[in-house]
Structure 1
Amino acid sequence: MYARIQDVAALIGRIAVGVVFLAHGLDKWNAGIDGTAQMLGAVGIPLPTVAAVFIIAVEVVGSILFIVGLATPLVGIGYAVVGLGATFAVHLDAGLTGEGGYELVLLLALTGLALGFNSGRLALDHVLLGRRSSKEAEPVS
């Protein structure tokens, strides 16, 4: 029973983190690649157009995959890269807490990373790959 609770908790966590990243990604999607690249260039991000495409892909496409539990380790790494980039490029000078602080950005990035590698059995990764892997891992008698 405890495993079921863990799986439900991981699902709820994936949905929550995925929805927050998706909301931010849709803002960038609406601004477009050029608008997002201009914003990134203004804060000193190198190769702002490449970064804009990467960030929009992670936050929009990655979030949809994360919510359903597909390619979660890859998306989790993407969340960590995006979140740590935002922490160091935008929020670090404001400190950990307070207006513009990095506590929530850092928390989302690292929670996404942790859930990416611990997505639970209610994830498509587990449904599509987990059962096969567990059968392969069983010792032959």
Structure 2
Amino acid sequence: MHTRVKDIALLLGRIGVAVVFFAHGLQKWDSGVGGTADYFTQVGVPLPTIAAVFVIVLEVFGSISFVAGFLLPLIAVGYVVDTAGALLSVHAPNGLTGTGGYELVLVLGLAALALGFNGGRLSLDHVLFWRKREARQAELASV
């Protein structure tokens, strides 16, 4: 019972984090690579066009993958890079709290990191990779 509740909580956490990234990704998608790169140039993001493509792909398609639980560690590390860039280039001067503060960016990045390396059994990563590994370990332990 406890394991099921944990797995559901992890899935809900992944959904919550991914929805926020997805919403921001759609805003950037609507602006296009050019518009997003122009904004990144204004705030001092290095390689703004490459960064814009990376962030749009990560926030839109990576969020879908995050909900499905596919390639969780890779997406989580991408989210951390994304949020670190946002924190340093936009939010840090505004402080932790208040208008434009970095509290949401910080929590999103760290929550994504935690969920990316512990996505639970309700994930494609578990079905495709971990379940087979657990079965082999159980088989070796019984020998």
Is the shorter-chain TM-score for this pair beyond 0.5, marking a shared fold?
Answer: yes
The Cα shift of 1:2 comes to 1.1
Q: How many Å separate the matches in 2 of 1:137 and 1:79?
A: 31
2:67 aligned with 1:67: yes
The normalised TM-score by structure 1 is: 0.97
SS in 1 for 2:13: helix
AA at the equivalent of 1:44? G
What 5-or-longer segments of structure 2 have no aligned partner? none
Correspondence for 1:100 = 100
What 5-or-longer segments of structure 1 have no aligned partner? none
Q: How many Å separate the matches in 2 of 1:91 and 1:61?
A: 24
SS in 2 for 1:118: coil
The Cα shift of 1:129 comes to 1.5
The Cα shift of 1:108 comes to 0.4
Structure 1 segments (4+ residues) deviating >3 Å: none
Alignment of 1:1-141 (within 5 A): 1-138=1-138, 139-140=140-141, 141=143
AA at the equivalent of 1:115? L
Q: How many Å separate the matches in 1 of 2:27 and 2:103?
A: 21
The Cα shift of 1:75 comes to 0.4
RMSD: 0.8
Q: Percent identical across equivalent pairs?
A: 55
Q: How many Å separate the matches in 2 of 1:99 and 1:10?
A: 30
Question: In the comparison of the two structures, how many residue pairs are matched?
Answer: 141
The normalised TM-score by structure 2 is: 0.96
The Cα shift of 1:57 comes to 1.0
Q: How many Å separate the matches in 2 of 1:80 and 1:123?
A: 20
SS in 1 for 2:99: coil
